């Protein structure tokens, strides 16, 4: 199925490039011009949908999300330094092991892992607040870090929901769009052969309307058994 869509996109791109080169031969034919314009519009929509469904149009984090993420790491690192002082002064080895981070170690791993690490540190600071407040740890900084983590999680969830909804809509739109393009191509084929007198233009159009059908096997590099067939 993926190869079918790839072939269709390739043929459409080739055909549209060809008819634009021969525009002088059909520019006076309004019906041809309208059909070509409609096919071009649907071609771009089809390409966008296929790219999106292939995961080429998705990002886990927006620029704003990345800024939020970096701020969480920065604020948590500052908290870690205070917690390390408290841990060493009180001989709390468990707290020291949890909080003893550099910028790189706190930042290591995937986004989700880093946020989980920061959340664990904030939770520990809160649970030991009676001890660590003497080392300039405040409830305000704990609350601020939590708020930023909550904001980032909400943004990621919202983006995931939007992408899921978009994917569902595109999956329904894809077969409709392919059907519409094919119907338009059948009409355009008849228009070109019936309305255009220049046989060279007609021949170039027909050539642009074929694509390679690889079939089930492409194992041999020098295999000559491929055939060109019209996408209809």
What are the extents of the domains in the chain? 2-59+163-230, 63-137
CB 86 within 8 A of CB 170: no
Q: What residues contact 12, with CB distance under 8 A and at least 6 apart?
A: 39, 43, 46, 181
Furthest-apart CA atoms within the chain: distance in Å: 94
Tokens of 102: 């550099």
Please give the chain's pLDDT, 232 residues, in tens. Answer: 567 788 888 899 999 999 999 999 998 999 999 999 999 999 998 888 887 776 544 444 444 467 888 899 999 999 999 999 999 999 999 999 999 999 999 989 888 899 999 999 999 999 999 999 999 999 999 999 999 988 876 665 555 444 554 566 667 788 889 999 999 999 999 999 999 999 999 999 999 998 644 344 433 434 433 334 344 5
Q: What residues contact 204, with CB distance under 8 A and at least 6 apart?
A: 18, 21, 22
Q: What residues contact 98, with CB distance under 8 A and at least 6 apart?
A: 83, 120, 121, 124
């Amino acid at each position: 199925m993926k190869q079918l869509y790839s072939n269709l996109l390739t043929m459409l791109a080739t055909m549209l490039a060809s008819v634009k080169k021969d525009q002088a031969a059909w520019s006076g034919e309004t019906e041809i011009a309208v059909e070509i314009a409609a096919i071009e519009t649907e071609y771009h929509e089809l390409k966008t949908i296929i790219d999106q469904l292939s995961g080429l149009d998705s990002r886990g984090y927006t620029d704003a999300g990345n800024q939020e993420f970096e701020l969480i790491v920065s604020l948590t690192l500052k908290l870690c330094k205070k917690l390390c002082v408290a841990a060493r002064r009180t001989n709390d080895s468990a707290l020291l092991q949890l909080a003893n981070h550099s910028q790189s170690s706190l930042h290591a791993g995937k986004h989700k892992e880093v946020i989980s690490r920061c959340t664990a540190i904030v939770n520990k600071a809160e649970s030991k607040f009676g001890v660590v407040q003497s080392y300039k740890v405040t409830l305000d900084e704990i609350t601020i870090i939590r708020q930023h983590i909550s904001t980032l999680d909400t943004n990621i969830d919202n983006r995931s929901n939007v992408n899921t909804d978009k994917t569902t809509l595109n999956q329904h739109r894809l077969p409709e769009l392919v059907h519409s393009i094919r119907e338009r191509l059948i009409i355009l084929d008849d228009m070109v052969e019936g309305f255009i007198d220049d046989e060279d233009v007609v021949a170039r159009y027909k050539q642009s309307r074929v694509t390679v059908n690889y079939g089930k096997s492409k194992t041999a590099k020098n295999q000559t058994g491929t055939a060109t067939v019209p996408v209809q």
